[in-house]
Amino acid sequence: MSGACGITFRAPHHHCPTSQNPNSTTPKIPVFPLPINTNKRFHPLCSSASSQTQKTENKNPLVVVGSANADIYVEIERLPKEGETVAAKRGQTLAGGKGANQAACAGMLDYHPTYFIGQVGEDAHGRLVTDALAQGGICLEHVKRVEGEPTGHAVVMLLGSDGQNSIIIVGGANTSGWPDPLPEEDLWVVRNAGVLLLQREIPDAVNIQVAKAANSAHVPVILDAGGMEGPIPRELLKAVDIFSPNETELARLTGMPTDTSEQIAEGISKCHEMGVKQVLLKLGAKGSALFTEGEERPIIQPIIATSKVVDTTGAGDTFTAAFAVALVEGKSNKECLKFAAAAASLCVQVKGAIPSMPNRKAVLELLQSL
């Protein structure tokens, strides 16, 4: 199916309700380049979702603002040494990027409407990502193409047989040419969300702007710490309700070791001092924990073990997105953690990021079997 922009989409499963600000006279999908303060020109991607039969949808949209990448996977036994070439057993290119992954996961978990706000290039990689998201019923009215920039991409090196990986990222359209300020249509969607989900593969200035828009409307903000290695601005941390790092990211933010439970507790306390209300800590094979300011003990969630681990690339994104879905559905913190753990357990059994995202039926069946 082709939209008016000439981009081909597979038919989404769900209808995306209008996201236009009723007080705005600006068209929902402008047919002209958006006004920006750079020399780049933007073209909104057209979603063909409006032609679909509407299915039952949730009241509050889940909005993801973040990155869209093409993930180039290579399976190798070991990393090459300096000056060395190694042969990969196989390779393939799949849709990814932390933002797109998390939006796709919400769609797979049957949370609709889910909106994705991001940028791609005018290239085949951009079409790869938007096709994958459209197939999952994600609302793409706020995805824009950046002229002169490639779609972000990543080289994912899968090492050995245990599913572990090393990743190199090229930012491309994720990091260049964002309009400043963001279009009011984008901010209006954020202010009307049930929850806002962010990561750090786009500029911090963009995250700060949308987080503040969410704050103004009392929309919960979740920030996945994955992405850029640079310091996280205090201005962003103070606008976040739930901060979700892994142990390495927690250590990087606080400048403190995270080798023991005592050291982790000290790092969490420092996060609270920085303005973070809750810390959703991903502990890998040790599970996860939710620390809430003012509460003496965290909520601990062990991993839900699986006998087969194929690829851990999308596990963190799946966990964070599943937690966000459960949260916006009104589940308790404990239920959110368990739902997220089940989704992540299923994710690691399949290769790829977006292709590995589990559906709601599989997650519920796993939970019922425990």
The 10 Å Cβ neighbour count of residue 264 is 23
**Cα separation, 52 vs 137, whole angstroms:** 10
* 313 annotated as belonging to a binding site for a ligand: yes
* 259 annotated as belonging to a binding site for a ligand: no
Instruction: Check residue 363 and report its DSSP letter.
Output: H
Which structure tokens are listed for 107? 């769609």
* 241 annotated as belonging to a binding site for a ligand: no
* 226 annotated as belonging to a binding site for a ligand: no
Catalytic residue chosen out of the listed positions 186, 204, 241, 317:
317
Q: Is the CA virtual torsion 36, 42, 43, 49 positive or negative?
A: negative
* 180 annotated as belonging to a binding site for a ligand: no
Q: Which residues of 117-150 are buried (b: 16+ CB within 10 A; e: fewer)?
A: bbbbbbbebbbbbbebbbbbbbbbbbbbbbeebb
- For residue 62, the SS3 value is strand
* 194 annotated as belonging to a binding site for a ligand: no
**Cα separation, 128 vs 96, whole angstroms:** 9
**Cα separation, 340 vs 314, whole angstroms:** 13
* 97 annotated as belonging to a binding site for a ligand: yes
* 352 annotated as belonging to a binding site for a ligand: yes
Q: Which residues of 215-234 are buried (b: 16+ CB within 10 A; e: fewer)?
A: beeebbbbbbbbbbeeebee
Count H helices, E strands: the chain?
10, 14
* 317 annotated as belonging to a binding site for a ligand: yes
* Phi-psi label, residue 105: left if phi above 0, alpha if psi -120 to 50, beta otherwise: alpha
* 21 annotated as belonging to a binding site for a ligand: no
* Phi-psi label, residue 365: left if phi above 0, alpha if psi -120 to 50, beta otherwise: alpha
Which structure tokens are listed for 158? 């899968």
* 110 annotated as belonging to a binding site for a ligand: no
317 is catalytic: yes
* 71 annotated as belonging to a binding site for a ligand: yes
* 316 annotated as belonging to a binding site for a ligand: yes
* 361 annotated as belonging to a binding site for a ligand: no
Whether 195 and 219 have beta carbons less than 8 Å apart is answered as yes
* 347 annotated as belonging to a binding site for a ligand: yes
Which structure tokens are listed for 101? 């992954």
Which structure tokens are listed for 23? 């007080």
The 10 Å Cβ neighbour count of residue 310 is 17
* 338 annotated as belonging to a binding site for a ligand: no
* 287 annotated as belonging to a binding site for a ligand: yes
Whether 323 and 336 have beta carbons less than 8 Å apart is answered as yes
- For residue 311, the SS3 value is coil
* 192 annotated as belonging to a binding site for a ligand: no
- Give the residue ranges of the annotated binding site for ATP: 246, 282-287, 316-317
- Give the residue ranges of the annotated binding site for substrate: 69-71, 97-101, 201, 317
Catalytic residues: 317
- Give the residue ranges of the annotated binding site: 69-71, 97-101, 201, 246, 282-287, 311, 313, 316-317, 347, 350, 352, 356
- Give the residue ranges of the annotated binding site for K(+): 311, 313, 347, 350, 352, 356
